[in-house]
């Protein structure tokens, strides 16, 4: 086979050209592509670092906002509780004042009613005395036939009461 015998003669030149082509490809990639890939990797790493820093800053800001929010909510709750307590105290004072006024008005009405009741009782007693005196005159006149004056009958009725 003549091809095998030529293999050793051709082998050296093919190996030489193979090394030259591989060297050209190697140096071409090293000079052109490696810097571009390195730049892309560095840019990507920088972007990732910047994004992580921005995320950390946003998280810190969110935590600060949450802290401020919680503080404002707690302050609002405290203000609301104090406002409610103040309103309760004011309402209690107003209720006490209203109860005192109502008690005074009721006491005044009770005194007026008591005075009216005493006046009515006195008037009723006077009427009863007058009716009793007239009845006593009529009874004495009917029973004994004696004539009693109205003044004497009133005196007798008053003495009996």
Looking at residue 3, its pLDDT comes to 66
* pLDDT (tens place) for every residue of the chain, 161 residues total: 566 677 667 777 888 889 999 999 999 888 988 889 999 999 999 999 999 999 999 999 999 999 999 999 999 999 999 999 999 999 999 999 999 999 999 999 999 999 999 999 888 888 888 888 888 878 887 888 777 777 777 777 777 76
User: 49 in a domain, yes or no?
Assistant: yes
User: 21 in a domain, yes or no?
Assistant: yes
Looking at residue 1, its pLDDT comes to 53
Q: Does residue 137 contact residue 157 with C-beta atoms inside 8 Å?
A: no
Domain residues for 113? 2-120
Residue 55: alpha-carbon gap to chain centroid: 36
User: 69 in a domain, yes or no?
Assistant: yes
Q: How many Cβ atoms are within 10 Å of 114's Cβ, its own excluded?
A: 10
User: 65 in a domain, yes or no?
Assistant: yes
User: 126 in a domain, yes or no?
Assistant: no
In SS3 terms, the chain reads as: CHHHHHHHHHHHHHHHHHHHHHHHHHHHHHHHHHHHHHHHHHHHHHHHHHHHHHHHHHHHHHHHHHHHHHHHHHHHHHHHHHHHHHHHHHHHHHHHHHHHHHHHHHHHHHHHHHHHHHHHHHHHHHHHHHHHHHHHHHHHHHHCCCCCCHHHHHHHHHHHC
For residues 52, 57, 62 and 67, what is the CA-based torsion angle, rounded to 10 degrees? 130
User: 151 in a domain, yes or no?
Assistant: no
User: 25 in a domain, yes or no?
Assistant: yes
Rounded Cα distance, 22 and 30, in Å: 12
Residues in the chain: 161
Tally the domains of the chain: 1
User: 153 in a domain, yes or no?
Assistant: no
């Amino acid at each position: 086979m003549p091809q095998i015998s030529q293999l050793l003669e051709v082998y050296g030149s093919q190996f030489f050209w193979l090394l030259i082509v591989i060297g050209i490809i190697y140096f071409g990639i090293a000079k052109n592509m490696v810097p571009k890939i390195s730049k892309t990797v560095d840019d990507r790493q920088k972007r990732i670092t910047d994004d992580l820093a921005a995320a950390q800053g946003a998280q810190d800001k969110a935590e600060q906002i949450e802290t401020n929010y919680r503080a404002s909510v707690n302050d609002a709750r405290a203000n609301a509780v104090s406002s409610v307590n103040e309103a309760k105290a004011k309402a209690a004072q107003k209720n006490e004042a209203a109860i005192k006024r109502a008690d005074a008005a009721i006491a005044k009405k009770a005194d007026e009613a008591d005075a009216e009741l005493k006046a009515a009782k006195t008037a009723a007693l006077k009427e009863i005395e007058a009716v009793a005196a007239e009845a006593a005159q009529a009874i004495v006149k009917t029973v004994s036939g004696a004539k009693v004056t109205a003044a004497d009958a009133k005196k007798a009725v008053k003495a009996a009461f």
